[in-house]
Amino acid sequence: DAKTTQPPSMDCAEGRAANLPCNHSTISGNEYVYWYRQIHSQGPQYIIHGLKNNETNEMASLIITEDRKSSTLILPHATLRDTAVYYCIVRVEYGGSQGNLIFGKGTKLSVKP
C-alpha cells in the first residue's frame, strides 16, 4: 500500500473550516484514499473515502487532486468535538478478506474556542 504523509499537528478556530492535507505521491490507480479519526481513548471512526472524484457526506468533504498525489479533508465548521487525530490511509477498496488498514501517525487537530 502507498505511504501517506501528513503534518503532525494543526490548530483550527471553532466554527472555521479545518483543512487537513495528505500527500500520497506513490498512490496506485486502484487505491482509494480513506480518512479516519480517533478521538482520545476511543476506536477510530470512519469519515469518508474516495478514488478520484471529490466526495462529500454529512461529516466532511474530500478533495483529491487531479493527479491523485494529494488530498485534503475539509471539516466545514469545526467544533470542539472535532479535536482528534486524523488518519489518511490509501488502500485498495476491499470486500471480504482484504482490508486491514495501515495507520501512520496522523495529524492531531486541535479545535480551539
Binding site for other proteins (CB under 8 A): 34, 36, 38, 41-46, 49, 87, 93-106
DSSP, collapsed to helix, strand or coil, labels residue 80 as helix
In the chain, the N- to C-terminal Cα span, in Å, equals 37
Identify which of residues 96 and 113 has a Cβ nearer to other proteins in the complex. Answer: 96
Residues 29/83, Cβ–Cβ less than 8 Å: no
Give least dist CB 71 to other proteins, A.
16
Half-sphere exposure of 111 (CA within 13 A, CB side): 20
Cell numbers standing for residue 43: 476506536
Identify which of residues 18 and 44 has a Cβ nearer to other proteins in the complex. Answer: 44
Residues 66/53, Cβ–Cβ less than 8 Å: no
Identify which of residues 10 and 101 has a Cβ nearer to other proteins in the complex. Answer: 101
Give least dist CB 100 to other proteins, A.
5
Give least dist CB 31 to other proteins, A.
14
